[in-house]
Structure 1
Amino acid sequence: MSEERFPGWHGTTIVAVRKGGKVVVAGDGQVSLGQTVIKGTARKVRRIAPGGRDIVCGFAGSTADAFTLLERLERKLESAPGQLQRAAVELAKDWRMDKYLRNLEAMLIVTDGAELYVITGAGDVLEPEHDATAIGSGGNYALAAARALYQYEPDAEVIARRALEIAAEICVYTNGNMTVESISK
């Protein structure tokens, strides 16, 4: 997020874990402005269903920008039903090339239960190497925790929840009010 355009805005930790035939996306509920918590119960993980097929999305950054991107992703998925990778790449291309979209300040994690991607405004569509990924202010803490827990815990939801709890204990811009969505292949 640009510090010049959005001074002091912080918040959000989204973590996704793929294991045992399912993907779990968990997000905290905190939105902060400087040292003030503006809201503690924001819902940053959502389920969308373009063409009747469920997709779970988590977002970090500006809420309005994230919703704009989610709407665009839904349209891409309606044009290419069942092809999450294609829709994600098309969204990333538009995001990078379009003058309006280029200014949006957000990141997305998206999954259909089989594929898992991080989509950025830099034109990236990244698939995690280790079946876990995270974004946002506490993303690095949650990712480290998820990767450490991965080999010891068989359940993706337990890993995602505990990773987010650990991030909330470390990152002042992350709280323990979780939204958790699970999706299977």
Structure 2
Amino acid sequence: MKMPKIHSTTVIAVLHNGKVAIGADGQATLGNTVAKSNVRKIRKLKDGKAVVGFAGSTADAFALMDKFEEKLSAYGGIVERAAIELAKEWRTDRYLRRLEAMMIVVAKNEIFIISGSGDVIKPDNDVAAIGSGAMYAQAAALALKKHAPHLSAKQMVEEALHIAADICIYTNHNLLIEEIE
């Protein structure tokens, strides 16, 4: 009997007015059941100078976060370089390339999406989203940036996640949001 896959997650990051915020919901779904409602999908690295959000397999994401933190230390805290080196190793390493997850990494004035296919994407419009509710949250954040520029990056992330949670059955309203100035 095949075990149902765990589905979950909406992670979004917004860079606005010199501040970057990243947030995620807390739901993990197993088949058609909520397995856990308060999963922590955001982690601070390097004393809070970088924050990582993940979607996909939790164990895989933790392994990738550890690798990313190693790369961050090896490359003097340069987030873009660490992201590129992680993506290269993730794509070519026999063990790592089996890992099923995606990551958003934020640091001061930087947002990157990192995938196992070797992608390191610096998003247009300073908005990045991953996970099952990503497109709902991204659309909401882009609209907020355009039509409500008085909001902070953190407020935009929070509202975008609430909108995604209202639409996506794999996203809930238990939010964790971090901000870097």
Normalized against structure 2, the TM-score is what? 0.95
Q: Once the 2 structures are TM-superposed, how far is the Cα of residue 25 of structure 1 from its aligned partner?
A: 0.2
Is 1:116 the equivalent of 2:106? no
Is 1:106 the equivalent of 2:101? yes
What's 1:54 paired with? 49
Of 54, 76, 83 in structure 1, the residue corresponding to residue 78 of structure 2 is 83
Q: Distance in 2 between matches of 1:123 and 1:58?
A: 17
Q: Distance in 1 between matches of 2:3 and 2:177?
A: 27
Count of equivalent residues: 178
Cα gap change, 1:53/1:38 in structure 2, threshold over 3 Å: closer, same or farther?
A: closer
What's 1:33 paired with? 30
Residue segments in structure 2 that go unaligned for 5+ positions in a row: none
Of 137, 142, 158 in structure 2, the residue corresponding to residue 142 of structure 1 is 137
Q: Distance in 1 between matches of 2:45 and 2:142?
A: 27
SS in 1 for 2:38: coil
Cα distance per residue 1:35-65 (max 9 Å; x no partner): 100000001011111xx56111100001110
Preserved CA contact (<8 Å) 1:17 1:133: yes
| CA-based RMSD | 1.3
Cα gap change, 1:117/1:38 in structure 2, threshold over 3 Å: closer, same or farther?
A: same
Q: Distance in 1 between matches of 2:31 and 2:5?
A: 4
Structure 1 runs of 4+ aligned residues shifted over 6 Å read: none
Q: Once the 2 structures are TM-superposed, how far is the Cα of residue 6 of structure 1 from its aligned partner?
A: 6.8
Residue segments in structure 1 that go unaligned for 5+ positions in a row: none
Q: Distance in 1 between matches of 2:54 and 2:63?
A: 11
Paired-residue identity, %: 50
What's 1:71 paired with? 66
What's 2:88 paired with? 93
Normalized against structure 1, the TM-score is what? 0.93
Q: Once the 2 structures are TM-superposed, how far is the Cα of residue 112 of structure 1 from its aligned partner?
A: 1.1
Preserved CA contact (<8 Å) 1:93 1:123: yes
